[in-house]
Structure 1
Amino acid sequence: MAMHPRGIPQDKQFAGTLARGLELLLCFKPDEPLLGNKEFVARTGLDKATVSRLTYTLVQLGYLRHDTRLGKYRLGAPVLSMAYPLLASMNLRQIARPLMNELADEVRGTVSVGIRDRAEMVLMDTCRSEDGDAPLIDIGASMPLLATAIGHAWLARAEPKERAVALNQIKVRYPQQFAEHAQRLPQALRDFASRGYSTNPGYYRRDRLAVAVPVATAVNSEIVVFNCTVPASQAPAREVRQRVGLRLVTLVRSVEVALGLR
C-alpha cells in the first residue's frame, strides 16, 4: 500500500478527511493542553485552510473547545468519553491492580501497564508507592516506543511484520526519534530474548531504572506491557535489574493465569 509522506495510507477505501481530523486531536500532549492553528499546521503538515475547516468542524462536534481569549483550542469532553469504553472493557486492569500496588510498595517505585499508540506507549493504569519519591504518572501518559523499556518490550513481543510496520511509521513520521534510538534496538531485542524482560533508564527521571515485561498473549487484540520503575541507587544496576525484572515476570505470569491465558 502506498503511503503519504506523513505516513498516511493512500487507498481509495481510506477516509483522508477523517484521518486528518484525528491527527489534530492527537497533537495535544499533557504539557501542551492548548494549541492554535499555527501549531496544528506545524505538527501535521496540513495547510492553513484545511486546519481551519477541521478545527471549526471539531468545535461544532464538541471534540475541541475554543478559548476565544487566547485564540487556541483544548480537547473537549467527548474525547474522554471515547476512551472510557476501552478502559472499562479491559478487565486486566481490575485483575492486575492489587498486584501492581503490592509491587510498587515493595520496590518503592511505580508500576504501570500500557499499550501502543503509534510511536508511543500510552499508560492505561499506573500504581505508585506511597513511600519514597516515585514520580506521579497518570493514566494517559505516553513514552516513546524506541527510547523506553516499555517500548522495547512491546517491540520484542510483536510479530516481525507488526514490528516492521511500527518502525517504518516512526521512521517516516518521527525521523529524529528514529535516528537517535533505532541503532540500540537490536541489542535491546537480544537482551530481552536472554532475560525475558527489557530494561532502560527511566524516561521521566534519569535517576531511575525501568524494567518492562509484555503479556505473552494479546489482550483485546493489543500487546499489553507492564512496566516498573525504581530508584537506580537502591543497589548495583545489574542486581536491581535482575531482582525487579524477575519480580515483574512473576506478576505478569500471575495476571496471565487469572485471565486464562495460561
Structure 2
Amino acid sequence: MILTTFGQQRSTMSSPRNSVVHNVVDVLRCFSSEKPLVGVTEIAEQVGLHKSSVSRLLATLESEGWVEQDPATRRYQLGLGLIAIAGPLLANLNVRQVAYPYLHELADATKETAVLAVWEGSVSVTVEQIASDRTVKHTSPLGARYASTGSATVQIFLAEMSKETVTVLLDQDTIELQQGWTRSELQKRLEAVRRQGYATNLQETFDDEVGIAAPVYDHRRKVVAAVLIAAPSYRIDDQATQALIDQCVATAAMISTRMGNPDSQ
C-alpha cells in the first residue's frame, strides 16, 4: 500500500521555549507522518537541547504512553496515550460530529480521501479524515497543520479574512506565501475563492497532489471548517477536477445546512 501525506505541514514555534512544557511540545512536534520514527540525536538537534535532556523527556513521555520506543531501531514514535488527550477535544468539535457521515459519503462517491479542516490561530488543521480505499491515495492525518497559501484549505480560511489580516499573517511569517506567488496574485486568488465558493491546489504544493476544498458555514454565516478532497494528480484530468469540485461544494453545503446556515437551506 502506498500512502502519501497531502500538503505541507508546519510547526509554529513563535513563543519562547523556556520551560519544560515548551520543551515537551517541541519534542512531540518532531514526529510527523513523513517521519514517524525519530532518534534522540535527531530530536536534540532539531529542538536545540542536549541529548541527555531529550532522553529524560522521552523517558517521561514513554511512561505516560505518549511515545513508544521501537525495539528494533531504538528510535521513538508517538504513542496511543495521546489519543486519550486529544479524544475529548475532537469529540466536542460539533462540526466534526456533523460532518462525519457526509465525509464518508463523499469518500465513497469520489473514491478519494475526504478531509475536514478547521482554522487554529494561523494554520489549517485536519480534524477528521476518511481515507480513500484505493491502494494509491493521498492522506491528511489527524492533527496535520498547513500554513502554505498553496493549500486549498488555507485559501478557504484566508478568503474569509480581510486583506489587512492576511497581510499581517504574511508579515509575521505565520503563513507562507506559496513559492512563485506574489502577494498581489494571492489576493486575486482569494477573491476568486470568495466568488466561486471553492479553492484548488492543482499540483501547486507538490507535483503529485491535487486538492479541492469548499467552506462550511454555521448559523452566523461564519466559515467554521473546510471540506477537502485529496487525490493523486495522475488520475485527475480537467473533467475529473470539475466533478470533484461539484461534489466537494455539495458536501460542504449539506454540512452547512446541518450547522444551521440559512443561506444553504
Q: Same fold (TM over 0.5)?
A: yes
Aligned with 1:9 (options 10, 15, 27): 15
- 1:37-48 mapped onto 2 (5 Å cutoff): 37-48=40-51
1:227 positional shift: 0.6
1:157 positional shift: 3.1
With the length of structure 1 as denominator, give the TM-score of the two structures: 0.72
Residue in structure 2 matched with residue 95 of structure 1 by the alignment: 98
Residue in structure 1 matched with residue 142 of structure 2 by the alignment: 140
Residue in structure 2 matched with residue 127 of structure 1 by the alignment: 130
- 1:175-190 mapped onto 2 (5 Å cutoff): 178=177, 180=179, 183=182, 185-190=186-191
Higher relative contact order (CA 8 A, sep 6+): 2
Residue in structure 2 matched with residue 152 of structure 1 by the alignment: 155
* AA matched with 1:224: A
- 1:14-53 mapped onto 2 (5 Å cutoff): 16-48=19-51, 50-53=53-56
Aligned with 1:79 (options 73, 79, 82): 82
2:138·2:232 contact (CA, 8 Å) conserved in 1? no
1:205 positional shift: 7.2
CA separation of 1:78/1:181 partners in 2, compared to 1, >3 Å: closer, same or farther?
A: farther
1:72 positional shift: 2.5
1:19 positional shift: 1.8
Deviates more, 1:204-213 or 1:22-31: 204-213
- Does 2:215 correspond to 1:214? yes
1:215 is paired with a residue whose SS is: strand
CA separation of 1:54/1:231 partners in 2, compared to 1, >3 Å: closer, same or farther?
A: closer
Q: What whole-Å deviation, never above 9, does each CA across 1:185-211 have from its counterpart, x for those lacking one?
A: 334312212211111125897455321
1:244 positional shift: 3.3
How many percent identity over aligned positions?
A: 23
* AA matched with 2:214: V
Deviates more, 1:134-143 or 1:245-254: 134-143
Aligned length: 247
Residue in structure 1 matched with residue 110 of structure 2 by the alignment: 107
Rounded to whole Å, the distance in 1 between the matches of 2:242 and 2:178 is 29
1:212 positional shift: 0.6
Residue in structure 1 matched with residue 245 of structure 2 by the alignment: 245
With the length of structure 2 as denominator, give the TM-score of the two structures: 0.71
Q: What whole-Å deviation, never above 9, does each CA across 1:46-91 have from its counterpart, x for those lacking one?
A: 4445434433432343322344663432222221211211222234
RMSD over equivalenced CA pairs, Å: 3.9
2:179 is paired with a residue whose SS is: helix
